[in-house]
Amino acid sequence: MVTKHYLSALIVCISLNLISCSSESDSLEDNETNLFDENSTDTPTHGEPEPETTDTESVLSCLKTLGTNYVVFDAEATESPLDQWKLITKGDSDYLDKESLGPINETHLEFTGNNQGSGPVTSPLDYIFTAPSTGEYKLLMRLYQRLEGAEEDKSNDVYIKMEGNFTSATDKYTTEDLQTDLKFFGRGVDQWGAVYSGDGGEAHNKSAILYNLIEGEEYTLTMSGRSQKANIDYILLYDTKDISITTGANKDLAELNDAQYRPDWDCNQ
């Protein structure tokens, strides 16, 4: 185990898109991968060292949680340059801990480009994951609108698109709609809430974002900045057949749902 100070430094390194970050601290443990079976009778082959896991890979693993029918990751679980996204951590003056349940893992991202109403697609962040099972997956995010006096429909959206072997799981959007940058909005008016609805496509529908994903296939979700002062804590994709999630305007995605659908942070203890 390592300290939060070390992991916070590594997160910053990832956010700056550095190739590597060094430290004298112990290597991070990946809680989801069992690297050695104590009951195995096999012995390591001499002269064939196992590939090392880099600090960046370990931190990204900690920031991402894979269940049997869902995947959830912190907003900073990306190797893309943050550009106009600002990483905010506990202790920063802009840290949003006004609620009973503050940012999960004590970090969140705030978009600083465009204006509070809207703007062009910019500062794309890629999130790469493998679908844990085949199903219809719904996309949600935990959102905080830092309005600072602006109207309630400001600072409440991002752009999203998906790459990979998928099809649309809703008649409101075509697969092509979901492959291109689409407005994704919600409500968290000066509090933690959620992003839960698309807005656009050929029919300009306002509806939930649903994907048909295939077990074992790799996908890339891209989130880009749209409205300034929109804050994203984490991103959740889950199979609607097996899981029920409470969401809606000004309903806190984290507080109103089971903790297992938040990112793990065992390696930060």
Q: Are 64 and 33 in contact (CB under 8 A)?
A: no
Q: Are 6 and 108 in contact (CB under 8 A)?
A: no
The tens digit of pLDDT for each residue in 203-260 reads 789 999 999 999 999 999 999 999 999 999 999 999 999 999 999 999 999 999 999 9
The tens digit of pLDDT for each residue in 188-199 reads 999 999 999 999
pTM here?
A: 0.80
At 44, is the pLDDT very low, low, confident or very high (cuts 50, 70, 90)? very low
The tens digit of pLDDT for each residue in 97-110 reads 866 789 999 999 99
Q: Is the pLDDT of residue 121 over 70?
A: yes
Three-state SS sequence of 76-90: CCCCCCCCCEEEEEC
Catalogue all structural domains in the chain, each as residue range(s) with its CATH number.
67-263 (2.60.120.260)
Q: Is the pLDDT of residue 16 over 90?
A: no
User: Among candidates 122, 113, 14, which has minimal Cα distance to 63?
Assistant: 14
Tell me what pLDDT residue 58 has.
62
Total Cβ atoms within 10 A of residue 183? 19
Lowest mean pLDDT among 26-30, 151-155, 163-167, 220-224: 26-30
Compute the distance between CA of residue 61 and CA of residue 47 in angstroms, rounded to an integer: 28
222: its two tokens: 């891209």
Q: Is the pLDDT of residue 26 over 60?
A: no
Total Cβ atoms within 10 A of residue 151? 11
Compute the distance between CA of residue 182 and CA of residue 190 in angstroms, rounded to an integer: 24
Backbone CA torsion sign across 200, 202, 206, 209: negative
Most confident of 3-7, 11-15, 41-45, 105-109: 105-109
Q: Are 156 and 143 in contact (CB under 8 A)?
A: yes
Please give the mean pLDDT across all residues of the chain: 83
At 33, is the pLDDT very low, low, confident or very high (cuts 50, 70, 90)? very low
Q: Is the pLDDT of residue 54 over 70?
A: no
Q: Is the pLDDT of residue 186 over 60?
A: yes
Compute the distance between CA of residue 107 and CA of residue 143 in angstroms, rounded to an integer: 13
Three-state SS sequence of the chain: CCCHHHHHHHHHHHHCCCCCCCCCCCCCCCCCCCCCCCCCCCCCCCCCCCCCCCHHHHHHHHHEEECCCEEEEECCCCCCCCCCEEEEECCCCCCCCCCCCCCHHHEEEEECCCCCCCCCCEEEEEEEEECCCCEEEEEEEEEEECCCCCCCCCCCEEEEEEECCCEECCCCCCHHHHHCCEEEEEECECCECEEEEEEECCCCEEECCEEEECCCCEEEEEEEECCCCEEEEEEEEEECCCCCCCCCCCCCCCCCCCHHHCCCCHHHC
Tell me what pLDDT residue 59 has.
63
- Mean pLDDT, rounded, for 128-149: 97
Q: Are 77 and 239 in contact (CB under 8 A)?
A: no
Q: Is the pLDDT of residue 22 over 70?
A: no
Tell me what pLDDT residue 267 has.
45
